[in-house]
Chains A and B, each alone.
Chain A
Amino acid sequence: MPNPLRSEGEAFRFLLGAVVYFAAIAIAGVINEWAGLVVFVLLTIAVAVWWWQARAREPRHVEMVAVPHGPDDERRILVVANETVGGTQLLERITELASDANSRVLVVSPALNSPLRHLASDEDAARDAAQDRLDRSLAALATNGVTARGQVGDGDPLQAIEDALRTFGADEIVISTHPEGRSNWLERGVVENARERFAVPIHHVVVDLDREPSS
């Protein structure tokens, strides 16, 4: 929700809006109780619609994040994946990218959570589930000969990437998602937003878990 009290100017405009809103309700209410109720309902709907449209018109804030790079002789690969973190396509791609002897791999598994649980700071189960997937992924990578470090990240994949970049100077980022139509991340434009926000090459790997060989 936009905060109307972020600056004195916004607070002042909010006050003017409140004066008009309550004055209209009070005048109508004094004339007739039902007229007051009607004005209240109509104005409230009008304010809600205006607020909703104003939010939609607001330009999306994209902040380019500077990405620190590691030593020149190192190739640092940051992998961000959640449910698809153990997918065969992703493991193959990481193995391919990390074939260089000086490669370093960091796998981040965002702790996806429901909005309600997120608001209630109830993240233990989400983090446990993400850690479990991460452990299996790291074990699978080790089987393929890739030794990688892993960490559970923020539920917002872009935030998880940004947090990881603060301690890991990535040369490239791999984002793994479900196929189009089943991927919540693709619907939210996570890959496009990451390309706008982070100044490093970003690889998108689609993992179709339905076509994965059952283990």
Chain B
Amino acid sequence: MATVDHAAHPPVAHQSSRVDARTLGMFLFIASEIMLFGSFFTVYFFVRVAAGTAWPTPPYQLPVFVAGMNTIILVTSSFTMHWALQSIKRGNRAGLKGGLVLTFLLGLAFLLTQILEYSRIGFTPHTNAFGSVFFGLTGLHGAHVFVGLTLLAAATIRAFRGHYSAESHHGVEIPGIYWHFVDVMWIVVYTTVYIL
């Protein structure tokens, strides 16, 4: 008859095989970011829709055209980011460096334009609820752009120091994912805050 069994084989892997760790990490990251931006958009909804605050509150005007140009700059930076990664996947180091530098410069242009816009806009976060929500949402996004630029700077420096190859380019891929996410969030912010 059968006997009591005890483990004769060590575990093959020392992690749960249910979800890939990197996928889980990205899921958690997206979830936390959605919650963060969601809380700011909830405030926006209550101020603009529930409380019926005029948007923008007269006599202030939002610089829709400048922000539109900024949107084009940011979306273009996603194309250069994609170009950078596609280049290194094909072993093209010049394309990687060019793409990363262009992406960084476009991101920097976006951030500097936003700072310039803040200085000329004519109201502050203290002015009223509209001002608080505007600076809250665009400022939160600006902080994300700053973090993205930091990641891009690190990736660019590493690229110029000879890092990354067609086989190993994780250090470009992760900042790329983050950068596209930041761009998507800006499109949401621009559409809701400036256009609608």
In the complex, the answer to whether A147 meets B9 with C-beta atoms within 8 Å is: no
Check B85–A8 contact: CB distance below 8 A: yes
Assess the A169–B188 pair: CB atoms within 8 A: no
Stretch at the interface among B23-31, B49-57, B105-113, B123-131: B23-31
Among A36, A146, A159, A162, which residue has its beta carbon within 8 angstroms of that of B2?
A146
| B2/A29 in contact, CB under 8 A | no
- Asked whether A99 lies within 8 Å of B5 as measured between CB atoms, the reply is no
Q: How many A-B residue pairs have CB under 8 A?
A: 112
One of B37-45, B133-141, B179-187 contacting the partner: B179-187
A105 CB, min distance to chain B CBs, angstroms: 5
**CB proximity of B10 to chain A, nearest CB, Å:** 8
Does A179 interact with chain B (Cβ within 8 Å)? no
Partner of A12, one of B8, B10, B82, B190: B82
A115 lies within 8 A of chain B by Cβ: no
Number of interface residues of B (CB under 8 A): 38
Residues of chain A within 8 A of B173, CB atoms compared = 7-8
A158 to chain B, nearest CB (A): 10
Please tell me if B81 contacts chain A, counting CB pairs below 8 Å.
yes
Question: When the two chains form the complex, which single residue of A26, A70, A77, A98 contacts B1, counting CB atoms closer than 8 Å?
Answer: A98
Question: Which of chain B's residues 59-82 have a Cβ closer than 8 Å to chain A?
Answer: 75, 78, 81-82
Contact present for B2 and A103 (CB under 8 Å): yes
Contact B12 A166 (CB under 8 A): yes
| CB-based contact A105/B11 at 8 Å | no
Is the CB–CB distance between B30 and A146 below 8 Å? no
Contacting pair B4 A18 (CB below 8 A)? no
Q: Hey, what's the 0/1 contact readout for B168-179 against A, CB within 8 Å counting as 1?
A: 000011001100
- Asked if A85 CB lies within 8 Å of chain B CBs, one says no
A153 to chain B minimum Cβ distance, whole angstroms, is 12
The answer to whether B27 and A168 touch across the interface, beta carbons within 8 angstroms, is: no
Chain B residues whose C-beta falls within 8 Å of the C-beta of A30 in the assembled complex = 195
> Chain A residues near B8 (CB, 8 Å)?
70-71, 168-169
- With CB as the reference atom, state the residue of chain A lying closest to B185: A18
Q: Is B17 in contact with chain A by the CB < 8 A criterion? A: yes
CB-based contact A105/B2 at 8 Å: yes
- Inter-chain contact A162/B177, CB cutoff 8 Å: no
Task: Check A3 for interface membership: any CB of B closer than 8 A.
Answer: yes
Q: How far is the CA of A36 from the CA of B3 in the complex (A)?
A: 71
Q: Which of chain B's residues have a CB closer than 8 A to the CB of A9? A: 82, 85
B116 contacts partner chain A, Cβ-Cβ < 8 Å: no
Given the known A-B contacts A6-B26, A8-B85, are A105 and B5 also in contact in the complex, defined by CB atoms under 8 Å?
yes
User: In the complex, what residues of B have CB within 8 A of residue A105's CB?
Assistant: 2, 5
Q: Check B23–A6 contact: CB distance below 8 A.
A: yes
A1-19 vs B, Cβ < 8 Å mask (1 yes, 0 no): 0010111110110110011
Q: Which residue of A lies closest to B191 (CB)?
A: A22
Q: A6-B23, A104-B3, A148-B5 are in contact. Are A11 and B176 (CB under 8 A)?
A: yes
Say whether A172 faces chain B, with CB atoms less than 8 Å apart. Answer: no
Find out whether the CB atom of A15 lies under 8 angstroms from the CB atom of B180.
yes
Question: In whole Å, how far is B65's beta carbon from the nearest beta carbon of chain A?
Answer: 13
Q: Which residues of A contact B (CB under 8 A)?
A: 3, 5-9, 11-12, 14-15, 18-19, 22, 25-26, 29-30, 36, 68, 70-71, 76-77, 98-101, 103-106, 145-149, 154, 156, 159, 162-163, 166-169
Given A15-B180, A15-B187, A169-B9: 7 more A-B contacts, CB < 8 Å: A6-B26, A9-B82, A15-B183, A146-B2, A147-B3, A167-B9, A167-B10
Binding site for A on B (CB under 8 A): 1-13, 17-18, 23, 26-27, 30, 75, 78, 81-82, 85, 172-173, 176-177, 180-181, 183-184, 187-188, 190-191, 195-196
| A/B interface sample: 24 pairs, CB < 8 A | A5-B177, A8-B82, A8-B177, A12-B176, A12-B180, A14-B184, A15-B78, A15-B187, A18-B184, A18-B187, A18-B188, A19-B187, A26-B191, A29-B195, A71-B8, A76-B5, A98-B1, A147-B3, A148-B4, A154-B18, A159-B17, A166-B12, A168-B5, A169-B8
